[in-house]
Amino acid sequence: MDLGEIEPSQLRGPRRAERDGAPRRRGGSWRAAVPVSEVTFSRRELDRILSLYGRKVAAGEWRDYAIDFFKDRAVFSVFRNACEAPIYRIEKHPRLERRQGAYSVISATGHIVRRGQELERVLGALDRALHLVAS
Closest listed residue to residue 56, CA positions, set 127, 131, 107: 127
**Beta-sheet strand order (sheet of 112-116):** 64-69, 74-79, 88-92, 103-107, 112-116
Query: How do the domains of the chain map onto residue ranges?
Result: 1-36, 43-123
List, for residues 82-126, the tens digit of each pLDDT value.
778 899 999 999 888 888 888 999 999 999 999 999 999 999 988
Higher-pLDDT residue of 7 and 93 is 93
- pLDDT value, residue 98: 84
When pLDDT is cut at 50, 70 and 90, the band that residue 34 belongs to is very low
Q: Which amino acid belongs to residue 118?
A: E
101 and 124 in contact (C-beta within 8 Å)? no
User: Which 3 state secondary structure label does DSSP give 75?
Assistant: strand
Collapse the DSSP code of 32 into the 3-class scheme (helix H, G, I; strand E, B; otherwise coil) and give the result.
coil
pTM: 0.67
pLDDT of 31 above 60 = no
Q: Answer whether 89's CB lies under 8 Å from 105's CB.
A: yes
